[in-house]
Every structure is written in structure tokens, then in C-alpha cells.
């Protein structure tokens, strides 16, 4: 096992990784931007070093500064967390070329799955059913319109190198597609340095269900069941749960088998997630693969008892998985809510100072946070400031506990999405498992009419 791990990230995920490392007796190195010099992850690591200015381009995406700290501290391995450099193939290669383990898959796999067009082709070749669409770059809007006519509207225009809902837009007509094409192309170029767009058929009223996989470096892999991540805003998840409600057991089993087959087909190593869209007939389609730890990984940990960060560390240290598929069992139900510093109506970020913070405490509540009383929320980073995970023996009990915990959660000084989370957790549709990816958008349209 490693002696020391550098965490190339910030906020709650950096703290989460530090916690497992401490339990395993592994020293941790934190890095921080000028804006984060008083952050909790900086205080909790064994050592911490500045890497640049407040902007992510000057700090958390500054590969040279991060590698310099890693070499100076004789770090054995680098954990990228999620976001930022976690799916950067060049960074993964650089770590390994400098003699440090990258806690994640190989650069080749990151690159292969990071390009959504190539990922679609790869999975199709492996015999995995993919979302119907066009597995080739669209050269211009005219070609896009022609392809849309073949698929039939509505379609989703997507950035090939995209993520987090950026460069993605649902279009229902030729006029909308012409208007959307150039703007999406520019956003994709700006955010991902790649303006390539492709197209998928919209699966109407779909659920977003993903399967967690773990593969060691010896080709041995398992799945850790599924998570339902259908409750979204702007194509970004806000509530996730495991296991998925109202899913046929045969479909659940088939999805797990498919995920293992898909990961094995690309020679995957470490923790990863196969994301799917599931239609109203419970037919599921491969959507994409995330080659990293997910924001919502705690719900899987809560129902399986497996520490995914610990498994990541062991796999990166060339240790084999210590369990087989039949050793993994799901017990109870877990729900995660993402707490954002944002206006609950417009979803615009809400920077400022937290003047009051009071969080519920109970044996069945897990709180992953990057803030405390007096924390300053800057405009430089993702506005997610905390996650709350609630567990229950049954889904009904987990929902009741979640509703009570959300009522007790108090943040003042900034706007947050807590009112929206309370509304969603208390809705009849959520209780009865009727949430689809377009649920929130439809709800907003109903309220406006």
C-alpha cells in the first residue's frame, strides 16, 4: 500500500479521500488555490501546499504545479477525485511517467471513454445496446438537420468531449437545431477545447440509471448494483438513490451483467460507472462511461458496506479485489441530496459568506461537506457545497428520514437549493418512484402555466 497520497482536488471530495487515507494509515498531501488557503481540506491533510491563483486554470488544473508538489513531497500516488483533472488522460500519463501511481484507469481508457463518439462505437462493437443516434461528428447544422430527420425529433445535440451538461441541448425542430448548433459548438470548444458535436435520439420520459463497477489490474471485476440519478436540473443530478425503485429484478440483474461486460471489453481498471437511459418499458441503453469516482458514490457505499476509495487505493497499488460478485449484497436504501449555493428557482450560483450553518445529526445521516460557519463561497468553483446521505432499512423509511433531515438543515447568508430539495423529497412522484430526467423541467412548466 502507498505511504503518501496527494489529492489533486478540493472541497468535500478531498476531505472524503483524506478520511479513508487516515483510516488506512496513509499520509495525505493537499494542494490549494489562493481562494482555498483556509479551506477544511487544507487543515485536515498531513501537509498542504499552494499551487496558484483562485481560478482553476491557475491552480487545480495547473498540472505542472501539482506535479512539482508531488515530487517535492516524495508522493507515491495521486488521487484526482472527480471533476477537474480526474478524466484528463494527459495528467494520468504524466503521473505515471513521473513514477507515481494515478488512482484511476489507464490514460488510454480515459481517452477512449472521454470521447463520447468513440465510446459509442466501442460499446456497439462489444455488443452493448447504445442510445440510438449518430456515432460520427456533425460537420455543420445542415448535416445535423438531415440526421435529425432520419432519427426523428426530438434529438439531443451533444459535445463529444462534454460532461456536466455543458454543450448539450434538446432540440425539437429544424429551427431550434439551427439556433443551437453554433452556440453549442462554441461552448464545447471553450470548455473542452473540442467543438465536435454529435447527436442522439431523445428517449422520452427516461430514467437515468447507472451501475458502479470495480476492476483490478488482473482482469477481475464486479458491479456494485445500480443508482437512480433521474432527478436533475440542467442535465446535472441533484438527488440520487440506491437501489433504484420500481425496477424489475430481471432488468436489475441484466444491467449489472451488461456493466461488467462493458468494462471488461475496454480492459478497465479501478472504479468506474456505466451510465444508462432506461425507457418506460424498462429497456436500457448505454449512454456513457465515467472513468472516475462519482459524486454519488456514498449511496453505493451505504447499501454495500464497501469503501470505494479504499478499493481504488488497493487497485492502484496492484492489489487484487478481495471479493467476488456473490460476496456483494445490497442492504437497505440510501438517498443522497446535493446541496448547492445557488438560487433554487433560477439555479444561478449564489456566492457569499455563510452566516449560519446548522446540519442534522443522526446515526443514519452521513454528511459530506466543504463548508462551516463563516465559510466564504467564491464564484470560482462549482457551487455544490455539501452532500447529505440518508439511510433506512426501506426506501419509505429513508424518504421519511430525508424529509425530516432537510427540514432541520439550515444555511443562512447565501441562497441554496434546500427549498427545492424539500419540495422534491416531499412530492408524491418521488415517493412512488415516478421520477424521470425531464421531471423537474415539466414541473417548472406546469407552475408557469
Which residues are annotated as catalytic? 292
As a whole number of angstroms, the distance between CA 347 and CA 330 comes to 34
As a whole number of angstroms, the distance between CA 357 and CA 412 comes to 7
Cα–Cα–Cα angle for 363, 212, 291, rounded to 5 degrees: 120
The Cβ of residue 70 has, within 10 Å, a number of other Cβ atoms equal to 25
Q: Which residue has the cell 440519478?
A: 229
C-alpha cell at 20: 479513508
As a whole number of angstroms, the distance between CA 436 and CA 336 comes to 17
Cα–Cα–Cα angle for 158, 159, 164, rounded to 5 degrees: 90
C-alpha cell at 206: 427516461
Phi, psi of 229 (to 5 degrees): -125, 35
Cα–Cα–Cα angle for 148, 152, 158, rounded to 5 degrees: 45
Integer-rounded Cα radius of gyration of the chain: 21
CA distances from 44 to 83, 367, 382, 425 (A): 21, 16, 21, 33
As a whole number of angstroms, the distance between CA 305 and CA 311 comes to 12
Give long-range contacts, CB 8 A cutoff, 24+ apart: 394-400.
394/332, 394/333, 395/241, 395/245, 395/333, 396/431, 397/333, 398/241, 398/332, 398/333, 398/334, 398/335, 399/335, 399/425, 399/430, 399/431
As a whole number of angstroms, the distance between CA 74 and CA 81 comes to 20
Cα–Cα–Cα angle for 89, 52, 16, rounded to 5 degrees: 65
As a whole number of angstroms, the distance between CA 354 and CA 409 comes to 13
Q: Quote the DSSP letter at residue 221.
A: E
CA distances from 349 to 144, 167, 169, 341, 416 (A): 33, 19, 20, 6, 9
Q: Is the dihedral of CA 163, 436, 125, 256 positive or negative?
A: positive
How are beta strands 284-290 and 47-52 bridged, if at all? unpaired
As a whole number of angstroms, the distance between CA 350 and CA 152 comes to 39
Amino acid at each position: 500500500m502507498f505511504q503518501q497520497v496527494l489529492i489533486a482536488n478540493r472541497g468535500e471530495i478531498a476531505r472524503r479521500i483524506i478520511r479513508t487515507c487516515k483510516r488506512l494509515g496513509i499520509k495525505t498531501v493537499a494542494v490549494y488555490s489562493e481562494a482555498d488557503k483556509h479551506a477544511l481540506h487544507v487543515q485536515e491533510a498531513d501537509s498542504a501546499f499552494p499551487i496558484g491563483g483562485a481560478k482553476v486554470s491557475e491552480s487545480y488544473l495547473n498540472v505542472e504545479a501539482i506535479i512539482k508538489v508531488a515530487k517535492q513531497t516524495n508522493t507515491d500516488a495521486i488521487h484526482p477525485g472527480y471533476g477537474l483533472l480526474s478524466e484528463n488522460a494527459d495528467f494520468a500519463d504524466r503521473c505515471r511517467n513521473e513514477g507515481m501511481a494515478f488512482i484511476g484507469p489507464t490514460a488510454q481508457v480515459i481517452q477512449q471513454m472521454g470521447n463520447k463518439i468513440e465510446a459509442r462505437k466501442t460499446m456497439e462493437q462489444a455488443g452493448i445496446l447504445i442510445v440510438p443516434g449518430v456515432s460520427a461528428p456533425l460537420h455543420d447544422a445542415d448535416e445535423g438537420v438531415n440526421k435529425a430527420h432520419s432519427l426523428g425529433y426530438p434529438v439531443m445535440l451533444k459535445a463529444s468531449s462534454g460532461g456536466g451538461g455543458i454543450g448539450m441541448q434538446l432540440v425539437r425542430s429544424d429551427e431550434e437545431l439551427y439556433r443551437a448548433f453554433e452556440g453549442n459548438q462554441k461552448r464545447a470548444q471553450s470548455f473542452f477545447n473540442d467543438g465536435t458535436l454529435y447527436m442522439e435520439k431523445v428517449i422520452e420520459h427516461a430514467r437515468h440509471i447507472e451501475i458502479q463497477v470495480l476492476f483490478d489490474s488482473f482482469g477481475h471485476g464486479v458491479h456494485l448494483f445500480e443508482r437512480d440519478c433521474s432527478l436533475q436540473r440542467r442535465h446535472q443530478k441533484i438527488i440520487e438513490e440506491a437501489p433504484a425503485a420500481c425496477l424489475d429484478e430481471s432488468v436489475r440483474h441484466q444491467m449489472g451483467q451488461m456493466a461488467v461486460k462493458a468494462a471488461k471489453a475496454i480492459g478497465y481498471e479501478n472504479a468506474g460507472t456505466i451510465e444508462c437511459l432506461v425507457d418506460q418499458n424498462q429497456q436500457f441503453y448505454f449512454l456513457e462511461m465515467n472513468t472516475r469516482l462519482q459524486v454519488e458514490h456514498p449511496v453505493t457505499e451505504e447499501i454495500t458496506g464497501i469503501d470505494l476509495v479504499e478499493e481504488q487505493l488497493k487497485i492502484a497499488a496492484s492489489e487484487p479485489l478481495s471479493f467476488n460478485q456473490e460476496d456483494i449484497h445490497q442492504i437497505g436504501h440510501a438517498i443522497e441530496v446535493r446541496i448547492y449555493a445557488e438560487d433554487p428557482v433560477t439555479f444561478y450560483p449564489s456566492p457569499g459568506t455563510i452566516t449560519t450553518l446548522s446540519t442534522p445529526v443522526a446515526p443514519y445521516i452521513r454528511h459530506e461537506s466543504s463548508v462551516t460557519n463563516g465559510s466564504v463561497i467564491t464564484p470560482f468553483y462549482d457551487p455544490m457545497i455539501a452532500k447529505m446521505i440518508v439511510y433506512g432499512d426501506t426506501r419509505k423509511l429513508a424518504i421519511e428520514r430525508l424529509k425530516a433531515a432537510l427540514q432541520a438543515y439550515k444555511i443562512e447568508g447565501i441562497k441554496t437549493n434546500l427549498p427545492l430539495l424539500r419540495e422534491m423529497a416531499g412530492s408524491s412522484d418521488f415517493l412512488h418512484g415516478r421520477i424521470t430526467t425531464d421531471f423537474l423541467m415539466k414541473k417548472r412548466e406546469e407552475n408557469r402555466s
